[in-house]
């Protein structure tokens, strides 16, 4: 089975050379209870090199190529992520692949202020998520440093009944703010998602309606983290990283989650603000 590389054959070779030469940065913190961590310094692409659509957004997945994409903290696209009939598809058991590789997938471009749009659907009882302003932290999942826009089959996945006031249903800021109105479509139907990040203000849209709004790097943001599964008492490292989303640069990568369930994305774009 062909494995998709982000720059083609020549680019992959260059990428591996750069990867072996790049230096890692140690996370520094004054918080005594936060474990030491390492943010990986891996190769990136420039989103502005991707063509624009009629709305002025860069098309980062057009259904034919995985240019610019790779696994989180990896130099290649894991085999469970493929192009399937014009979609970016996660399949936990791809046909004909022995020992398939999973993991989250990212678009490897450092982004700060932007509009991130895509369409998505999940299989019955499916669960996934979209991430942004994420850092690649060695040995840690993508959600340790990134807010999550929840992607879920609300009717059949048990996570929909957990959390508080529906804050784990589709379109929600996972485990913090419920999407209201909750207008997610059933499994195997396409939903439209839009995430706007602009100078710390974040807005979630689901099926063309604004459903969530919040501001990063504020006392209110810290309070929400403390009331979630990412609280300082429950998960000190996640609390530290999420309380300082994007690090000093206030930027990071976007990506999608391997939650072990079938999920499809299409028409993925980024408009730089």
Give the max Cα distance, the chain: 50
Distance of CA 180 to the CA centre of its chain: 21
> What pTM, to 2 d.p., does this model score?
0.89
Please report which confidence band the pLDDT of residue 96 belongs to, taking 50, 70 and 90 as the band edges.
Answer: confident
Average per-residue pLDDT for the chain: 91
Mean pLDDT of 181-192: 98
pLDDT higher than threshold 80 for residue 28: no
Q: What class, spelled out in words, does domain 8-272 have in CATH?
A: mainly beta
What's the confidence (pLDDT) of residue 31? 65
What's the confidence (pLDDT) of residue 32? 67
pLDDT for 141 beyond 70: yes
Which pair of structure tokens corresponds to residue 148?
């999550």
pLDDT band with cut points at 50, 70 and 90 for residue 20? very low
- Per DSSP (E only), the strands in 45-176 are 58-61, 69-71, 81-84, 87-90, 105-111, 114-122, 127-134, 148-152
- Annotated domain spans of the chain: 8-272
As a whole number of angstroms, the distance between CA 196 and CA 72 comes to 22
User: Tens digits of per-residue pLDDT, 227-271?
Assistant: 999 999 999 999 999 999 999 999 999 999 999 999 999 999 999
What is the pLDDT at residue 4? 44
Pick the range with the lowest mean pLDDT from 8-12, 49-53, 231-235, 239-243.
Answer: 8-12
């Amino acid at each position: 089975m062909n494995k998709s590389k982000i720059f083609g054959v020549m680019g992959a070779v260059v990428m591996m050379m750069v990867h072996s030469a790049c230096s890692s940065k140690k996370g520094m913190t004054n918080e005594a209870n936060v474990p030491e961590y390492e943010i990986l310094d891996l190769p990136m692409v420039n989103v502005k090199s991707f063509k624009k659509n009629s709305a002025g957004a860069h098309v980062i997945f057009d259904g034919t190529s995985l240019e610019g994409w790779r696994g989180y903290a990896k130099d290649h696209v894991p085999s469970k992520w493929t192009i399937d009939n014009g979609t970016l598809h996660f399949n936990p058991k791809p046909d004909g692949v022995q020992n398939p590789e999973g993991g989250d997938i990212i678009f490897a471009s450092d982004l700060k202020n932007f509009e991130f749009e895509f369409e998505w659907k999940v299989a019955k009882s499916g669960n996934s998520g979209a991430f942004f302003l994420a850092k690649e932290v060695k040995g840690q999942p993508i959600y340790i440093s990134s807010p999550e826009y929840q992607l879920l089959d609300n009717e059949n996945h048990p996570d929909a009944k957990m959390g508080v006031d529906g804050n784990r249903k589709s379109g929600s800021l996972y485990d913090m703010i419920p999407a209201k109105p909750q207008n997610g479509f059933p499994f195997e139907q396409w939903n439209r998602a839009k995430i706007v990040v602009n100078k710390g203000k974040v807005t979630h849209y689901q099926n063309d309606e604004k459903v969530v709004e919040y501001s990063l790097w504020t006392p209110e943001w810290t309070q929400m983290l403390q009331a979630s599964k990412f609280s300082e008492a429950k998960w000190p490292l996640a609390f530290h990283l999420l309380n300082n989303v994007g690090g000093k640069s206030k930027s990071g990568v976007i990506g999608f989650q391997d939650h072990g369930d079938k999920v499809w994305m299409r028409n993925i774009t980024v408009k730089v603000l």
